[in-house]
């Protein structure tokens, strides 16, 4: 009888060790999957992660309550509408009913000029500002607008702006 009890105890011990190994293997799978997800981005500027991202709708709501001079540090994901065709020194992100003008911290990096329609994750400082006629014309020129379109700019506009310290470009879209 003692032999059967000892055999039973040993069997339970072996089974519990095997379950622990299975849990460890599943953790390894999760880590590998996370690394695969991270590999689906091309990084620009400072290194940022794809965690704790504010949705585009939440970002729109934040911009709507901000006044000129307000700032907030944030990370969000949006689709690129356009990029500076001169150097890639700014991009406009689709925010539904508005656009966010993104420039890059300390003019420290540039984006590829052919990424319109692709998703990006940006991290940095969001703010609202009045954009001068001169800056609007300069950006229109950088965007490749015609001289007629540039000359039609005669008034300042409120810009939903962003200084990005880092960008993740979603690849394989």
Is 2.40.50.200 the CATH number for 43-170?
yes
- Over the stretch 53-72, which tens digit does the pLDDT of each residue have? 999 999 999 999 999 989 99
Where are the chain's structural domains? 2-39, 43-170
Q: For residue 2, what are its two tokens?
A: 């003692």
Percent of the chain residues past pLDDT 70, beyond the cut: 77
Q: Rounded to two decimals, what is the model's pTM?
A: 0.70
In whole angstroms, what is the distance from residue 120 CA to residue 113 CA? 13
Which of residues 149 and 22 earns the better pLDDT score? Answer: 149
Residue 104 has pLDDT above 50, yes or no: yes
Mean pLDDT within 130-135: 89
Question: Is residue 66 helix, strand or coil?
Answer: coil
pLDDT of 108-132, one tens digit each? 999 999 999 999 999 999 999 988 8
């Amino acid at each position: 009888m003692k032999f059967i009890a000892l055999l039973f105890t040993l069997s339970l011990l072996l089974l519990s060790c095997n379950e622990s190994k299975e849990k460890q293997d599943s953790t390894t799978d999760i880590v590998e999957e996370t690394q695969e997800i991270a590999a689906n981005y091309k990084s620009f500027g400072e290194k940022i992660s794809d965690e704790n991202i504010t949705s585009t709708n939440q970002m729109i709501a934040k911009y709507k309550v901000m006044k000129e001079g307000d700032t907030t540090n944030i990370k969000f994901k949006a689709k690129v509408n356009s990029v500076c065709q001169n150097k890639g020194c700014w991009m406009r992100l689709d925010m539904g009913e508005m656009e966010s003008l993104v420039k890059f911290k300390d003019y420290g990096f540039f984006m590829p000029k052919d990424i319109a329609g692709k998703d990006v994750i940006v991290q940095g400082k969001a703010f609202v500002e009045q954009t001068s006629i001169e800056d609007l014309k300069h950006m229109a020129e950088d965007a490749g607008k015609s001289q007629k379109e540039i000359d039609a700019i005669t008034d300042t506009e409120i810009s939903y702006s962003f200084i990005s310290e880092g960008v993740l470009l979603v690849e394989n879209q």
